[in-house]
Amino acid sequence: MRKSLIISVLAVFVLFSLSLVGCSSKEKLYVLNWGKYMNPDLIDKFETENNVKVVYEEVGSNEEMEIKLKQGITDYDIMIPSEYMIDKLSQEDLLLPINYSLLTNLEEVDFFEDAKVLYENEDFGQYLIPYFFGTVGIMYNTSNPNVKTALESDNGGFCTLFDVNNDFRVALYDSPRDTIGAALMCLGYSVNSNNDAELGEAEDLIEAALAKSLGSIRFGQDDLKGDVAKGNLDLALVYSGDYFEMVFEYEAEETDIEFDYFAPNHTNIWIDAFVIPNTSKNTDLAHKFINFFLDLDNAAENADWVGYTPVISEVYNVMVNDYGYDYDHYYPQPEGSSREVFMYLGSEHAQKLNTILNAVRIS
Amino acid sequence: MKKNIYGSSLQVFLTAFTFLIVYLPILVIILISIHGSQYNYDSFKLTFKWYREIINDQQLVDAIIVTLQIAVLATTISTMLGTTFAIGIHSLKKKNRVRMMVLNNVPVVNPDIVTGIMLFIIFRFFRMTFGFPTMLLAHIFFALPFVILSVLPKLKQLDSNLFDAALDLGATKFQAIVRVIIPSIKVGMIAGALIAFTMSIDDFIISYFMKQGEFHNVSTLIYSRLAKRQISSNVFAYNSLVVVLTIGMMILFNSLNQTQKKVRG
Amino acid sequence: MKSLRRLIYPYIAWLTVLIIIPFLFIVLATISTFHIFNSYTFRFTFDSLRFLTDPIFLNAFKNSIKFAGITTLICLTVGYPVAYFFANMKSKNKTLYVALLIVPIWSNMIVRIIAWENVFKPVSILNLFNLSFDMIGSDIAIIIAMVSMYLPFMIFPIYAVLDKMDHGYIEASRDLGANAFQSFYKVTLPLSLGGIVSGIIMTLLPAMTAFALPERIGGGTTILLGNLIEKEIFRGSFSIAATVSFVVMVVMLSLFMLIVRFDKEGETLL
Amino acid sequence: MLIYYLIFCLEDKLKKLIEIEGLTKSFDDTLVLKSIDLYIRENEFITLLGPSGCGKTTLLRILAGFESKDSGIVKFDGNIIDDMPPHERPINTVFQKYALFPHLDVFNNIAFGLKLKKIPKDEIEKAVKDALKLVKLEGFESRNIKTLSGGQQQRVAIARAVVNKPRLLLLDEPLAALDLKLRQDMQYELKEMQRALGITFVFVTHDQEEALTMSDTVVVMNEGEILQIGTPQDIYNEPKNRFIASFIGESNIIPGIMLKDYLVKFEGYEFECVDKGFKKDAEIEVVLRPEDIELKPANGGINGVVTDIIFKGVHYEIIVDVNGREYIIHSTDPQLVGNKVSLSFDKEDIHVMLR
């Protein structure tokens, strides 16, 4: 009797161990990306051209991307994180250098200045190929004219988010880097500040804002843009591309647009880029994938679908000239503005920011 | 006996409250699914375009198929296994049976998130590929105890000699179970299967820990979309469809039952 | 049927692999550096237990108790009379009415949560009726949504017990001189305790560990134990997630002991 | 030559179908069968009689193969059948609550065993028809089990067992659930059926009347032991001990002394009797059946006073007090309470057993 019990336990073990064998014969490319950040038609096209299967997974934040990679449940071939995460991953030796000889389309394209900064970075430039770039800014609902006035006032910009004297319904980003970054920029410090006094000031600013008696303040993710557009929020911290995405959606449904995007003079530029993590089992195919999106036609089609600013200047020109895009509206680097790029400042810094955001939330 | 009027009117009020609070989200879902605009609520515009939009949303269609596949497979397997295990548990002596049932009921009481983590840990430990197989195993796991719980009372009601009678008449143990015990506990098995199906279709939390990559069931798909954008109205349309179908089926079964009772007198 | 005992061995094996071993892993992860993703180093440490005194955990624990407690209390106060009402109903459609409470469960939970989220936002489908609420992030909104989600789970076990109860008990107590209130208080209520305990467990535990609901309705500012677990396991420390899970399991097991006292074979759990 | 032939025939006719030696069985440290020795002859109607919990049902279940034994030998037709699973044994059982399959109709219940043996359809139909005829339920084929009365269910259960033509039919208190009238009818019918079919019946009951009415052989059991095996007459008239005497029928049991063979002394008097073989002056008990005692007007001998009289239909039950001991007497003649009477009985009616 005991014996048959032990055999049963063993049988269940064996059953589980056996079930890990996958099935599909097609070559697979595992891609980890943000939501709505790549034209699915192009993925289909890539699949047919190369007779492979692209397994495409979406995440909501850079940190989630990092955890997914480290969990090792899936061996990703391609990821598209932001600059500071690339910095971090490269410091942790989790990325493979790009083999430029496999990227035949690279010669055909020129990157924008800001993207070049990243691409030519001594520390981690060899691991990435830029994808899109943009600013962090504020999306606001135009039905309340006071919001626009407040944003454009001397004391406006990012400070409007934290102003306890207005009755706006505000939303911040559920990400330490962005929200604390906005607070730092409001206070006139660098987004890359690692100064405890400065960070303390930022913490106080957010904490005070959360306790405000007028209006309301909450945290959210990429879904905040929808609420601003609808009028459930007066203003929210967003990425520049969010605005265009909403514009497209509203135009498709022929609904009146009552929202706009505001990029403060001092803000940070984000750049997302292709990287090949060291979990990749199929680096050749991963390079083919990157090369595919460096093709001018593909890149244009993709940029049109995604709505963010393309890093390739040829594509930018095509978008503005042929597709009729009004990029002036949120061109990341207009004359006379001050822009910063997030840097990775070590896990201690990341932990510090995390603690600050958690602390203000429970206070 | 005098009827306590206050008592019963309070009960009616609370029952009405219950239906209101439980059905309010359902009504909102249905309303959204037939309203023409996803952004503008100034005036009502009746439309059924969101219902057509269900099939244009390939991701959603895939997720619906996955949900149904998992639900059907998990229901079938857990009903078969659960019945077998219930028969085994029933044959135990009282003390061991109680011990076994305590173990059986742990997953029933365990919060889904902890069950999810436990399964996540063990599947990870075995280096299993997350996706269809793990989600199926997980659904079988949480459905099994419910099947056992609904089959066991039916077994207790059986004449204790039924199994022996079948053996006596020349049936092997297997034949006795298949030809005598199972037909006699059919009702419990159907109830168990229904619970298993409902739970599988509705599950979000445990599935959330079992998914991987683009592999989604409806719940995890919607949740993953939530963080990124507004949920488009075709999801509400799909959900309304499920609710309307369920209510329809229930009323149909109920009236069938009524007529059957009448015929039998 | 004694020879059929062998049929449970696979089940014992299954439960061992899927409950007992993972439970041991969780315990191990709380008291050591054990990690399912990379178990390179192993030593005993109580670092993650220190998290139990962290303000973040205490806040989440307090919130969980508060919201789950209030929700359970409301569900019990509303659910018991409703279950009693259904159990004593004489309609031939009785089962249909009870079954109608299951229908919303068939509708996807996440979609129902989004529906509530919509209701609590100023610009929502309710504007069609000139109604508008601005309640996202408020405690009341979370509690209303929780009651809506978990009320049926309180009603079903109590209904099951009351429905099966022999009406003769009540008649006997009336016969022996109890008035309506006394016979309810002294006979019906004690006899339905098993159902009440099951109902409380089926409401309290899921409410304590919910994460999608507080995240959506709470506007990102209310954190429950569920949010903590979900956040830590996917975006943070496995050992902290395990520690919080362990706390939840301790609460679960102590409540479970209560069930076992009333109902050894868990018949009221269905 | 002829004698040899007769012995041969007799041997054949009375061949032992079941042989049990030293059979022991316990559940959870409780011994329920204590070294049972028993044989059952072909074509015999044997009854296991005893109070509930005496082990008779366990013995039956071991024969059927539902329980395993702890030790001892069980032979069927001369072969040990320990490893033979129930479905291979040519033995069928009629269960206490019939255990009819609720999801099958009468026909399919009866045909159940035959279908498993893959017997051709027309043969099954014929066999079921015959079986129904045997139990007098012709035309009940398509009836739902739940619509049958207790007696009808009983008959279906019997038909379901005998249709398989078992060598041995086990009946586990099959009449317990029936009302009195039906029970008496069924007793008669069962006996008839056994004769007609020529199958060995092992009948388990706690009802002594049933046992005495139907059986060829009665096996009295108590607390896992066999107390006495014999014909109904033997058991009734010559109970081996007090337990059997009081379990089987009502009796007056009086302590006494066996003075010598054929002479017993009790209630202060010496009586001639037909018993012998006891030790001189052995302490014994005397069994006097109530119907064997006659009441006469008081004279010498055992005298007493009538204290109670109850009308029982066929007879009166009269209680007589003799020096503080109560005697039960069955008589067709009434007595008045307070009458002084004398007890009288024949020497054949005195049954002596060891104390």
- Asked if residue B117 belongs to a domain, the reply is yes
- Asked if residue B156 belongs to a domain, the reply is yes
Q: How confident is the model at residue A270 (pLDDT cuts 50, 70, 90)?
A: confident
- Mean pLDDT to the nearest integer, B212-239: 85
pLDDT exceeds cutoff 70 at D315: yes
Which sign, positive or negative, has the C-alpha torsion A285, A287, A289, A291? negative
Mark yes or no for CB contact B165/D66 under 8 Å. Answer: no
Residues D233-258 pLDDT 10s:
888 888 888 888 888 878 888 888 88
Q: How confident is the model at residue D46 (pLDDT cuts 50, 70, 90)?
A: very high
DSSP 8-state symbol, B215: B
Per-residue pLDDT, A15: 67
- State what percent of residues in chain C have pLDDT above 90: 35
Left (φ > 0), alpha (ψ -120 to 50) or beta: where does B195 sit? alpha
Q: Are C136 and C120 in contact (CB under 8 A)?
A: yes
CA D334 to chain centre: 32
Q: Which residues in chain A (158-197) have CB-CB distances under 8 A to chain C?
A: 169, 174
Per-residue pLDDT, C169: 80
Chain C residues close to B35, C-beta within 8 Å: 125, 128
Question: What CATH number is attached to the domain comprising B60?
Answer: 1.10.3720.10
Q: How confident is the model at residue B1 (pLDDT cuts 50, 70, 90)?
A: very low
Q: What count of other Cβ atoms lies within 10 Å of the Cβ of residue A184?
A: 24
Burial call A242-276: b when 16+ CB within 10 Å, e when fewer = bbbbbbebbeeeeeeebbbbbbbebbbbbbbbbbb
Beta bridge partners of D92: D169
Weakest-pLDDT range from A304-318, B170-184, C187-201, C254-268: C254-268
Per-residue pLDDT, D217: 92
Higher pLDDT, A240 or C72: C72
Question: What is the C-alpha separation between D223 and C256, in angstroms, rounded?
Answer: 43
Three-state SS at D206: coil
Residues A99-149 pLDDT 10s:
999 999 888 888 887 777 777 778 888 899 999 988 889 999 999 999 999
- State the number of CA atoms in the 13 A half-sphere of A309 facing the CB: 25
Contacts of C154 (CB under 8 A, 6+ apart): C72, C75, C76, C78, C79, C80, C83, C199, C200, C202, C203
Question: What is the C-alpha separation between A301 and A35, in angstroms, rounded?
Answer: 17
- The residue of chain B with its CA nearest to that of A53 is B214
Best C105, C111, C216 residue to mutate vs chain B (most B CBs within 10 Å)? C111
- Asked if residue B85 belongs to a domain, the reply is yes
As a whole number, the mean pLDDT across chain C is 86
Q: How confident is the model at residue B235 (pLDDT cuts 50, 70, 90)?
A: very high
* Residue C197 Cα, gap to closest chain A Cα (Å): 32
- The interface pTM score, or ipTM, of the predicted complex is 0.79
- Asked if residue B33 belongs to a domain, the reply is no
pLDDT exceeds cutoff 60 at D78: yes
Q: What count of other Cβ atoms lies within 10 Å of the Cβ of residue B75?
A: 24
Question: What is the C-alpha separation between B6 and C10, in angstroms, rounded?
Answer: 54
Q: How confident is the model at residue B3 (pLDDT cuts 50, 70, 90)?
A: very low
Residues C220-237 pLDDT 10s:
888 899 998 888 877 667
Chain C residues close to B64, C-beta within 8 Å: none
Q: Are C42 and C32 in contact (CB under 8 A)?
A: yes
Mark yes or no for CB contact A229/B39 under 8 Å. Answer: yes
Contacts of D3 (CB under 8 A, 6+ apart): none
Best B154, B163, B168 residue to mutate vs chain D (most D CBs within 10 Å)? B168
Mark yes or no for CB contact B242/C25 under 8 Å. Answer: no
Domain total in chain B: 1
Higher pLDDT, C151 or B255: C151
Q: Does C148 contact B at CB distance below 8 Å?
A: yes
Left (φ > 0), alpha (ψ -120 to 50) or beta: where does D148 sit? beta
Chain C residues close to A61, C-beta within 8 Å: 235
Domain that holds residue B162: 54-234
- Asked if residue B164 belongs to a domain, the reply is yes
Chain C residues close to B113, C-beta within 8 Å: 209, 211, 226, 229-230, 245, 248
Which residue reads 């535990």 in tokens? Answer: C205
Higher pLDDT, B28 or B258: B28
Q: Does A55 contact B at CB distance below 8 Å?
A: yes
- Which candidate, A212, A205, A216, A230, places its Cα nearest to that of A139? A230
Q: How confident is the model at residue C247 (pLDDT cuts 50, 70, 90)?
A: very high
Beta bridge partners of A338: A266
| A27-34 and D282-288 strand pairing | unpaired
Between vectors from CA A188 to CA A185 and to CA A194, what angle results, nearest 5°? Answer: 70
Residues B99-131 pLDDT 10s:
888 889 888 889 999 999 999 888 888 878 788
For chain B, list residues whose CB is within 8 angstroms of any CB belonging to chain A: 37-40, 122-124, 126-130, 133, 137, 212-214, 224-230
Question: What is the C-alpha separation between C71 and C207, in angstroms, rounded?
Answer: 8
* Residue C141 Cα, gap to closest chain B Cα (Å): 12
Q: Does A72 contact C at CB distance below 8 Å?
A: yes
- Asked if residue B118 belongs to a domain, the reply is yes
User: H-helix or E-strand containing D62?
Assistant: helix D56-64
pLDDT exceeds cutoff 90 at C149: yes
- The domains of chain A, with CATH numbers, are 25-133+270-334 (3.40.190.10), 134-269+342-359 (3.40.190.10)
Chain B residues close to D86, C-beta within 8 Å: 164, 167-168
Question: What is the C-alpha separation between B30 and B46, in angstroms, rounded?
Answer: 11
Question: What is the C-alpha separation between A346 and A88, in angstroms, rounded?
Answer: 7
- Mean pLDDT to the nearest integer, A52-68: 83
- Tokens linked to A282: 């199929």
Question: What is the C-alpha separation between C36 and C34, in angstroms, rounded?
Answer: 7
- Mean pLDDT to the nearest integer, A318-329: 78
- Mean pLDDT to the nearest integer, B5-10: 68
Q: Does D103 contact B at CB distance below 8 Å?
A: yes
Q: Are B56 and B74 in contact (CB under 8 A)?
A: no
Per-residue pLDDT, B73: 94
Question: What is the C-alpha separation between C259 and D6, in angstroms, rounded?
Answer: 74
- Which candidate, B201, A250, A172, places its Cα nearest to that of C111? B201
- Which candidate, A62, A56, A59, places its Cα nearest to that of A40? A56
CATH of span C56-226: 1.10.3720.10
| D252-260 and D282-288 strand pairing | antiparallel
Chain C residues close to A63, C-beta within 8 Å: 235
Three-state SS at B212: strand
Which of C17, C124, C221 is nearest residue A219 as measured by Cβ atoms? C221
DSSP 8-state symbol, C267: G
Higher pLDDT, C179 or A336: C179
Q: Does A351 contact C at CB distance below 8 Å?
A: no
pLDDT exceeds cutoff 60 at C39: no
- Which candidate, D303, D299, D337, D298, places its Cα nearest to that of D317? D337
* Residue B123 Cα, gap to closest chain A Cα (Å): 8
Could you tell me the pTM of the whole model?
0.82
Which residue reads 């008449």 in tokens? Answer: B169
- Tokens linked to B261: 């009772």
Per-residue pLDDT, D169: 92
Weakest-pLDDT range from A197-211, A267-281, C28-42: C28-42
DSSP 8-state symbol, B104: H
Q: How confident is the model at residue D348 (pLDDT cuts 50, 70, 90)?
A: confident
Q: Are B130 and D68 in contact (CB under 8 A)?
A: no
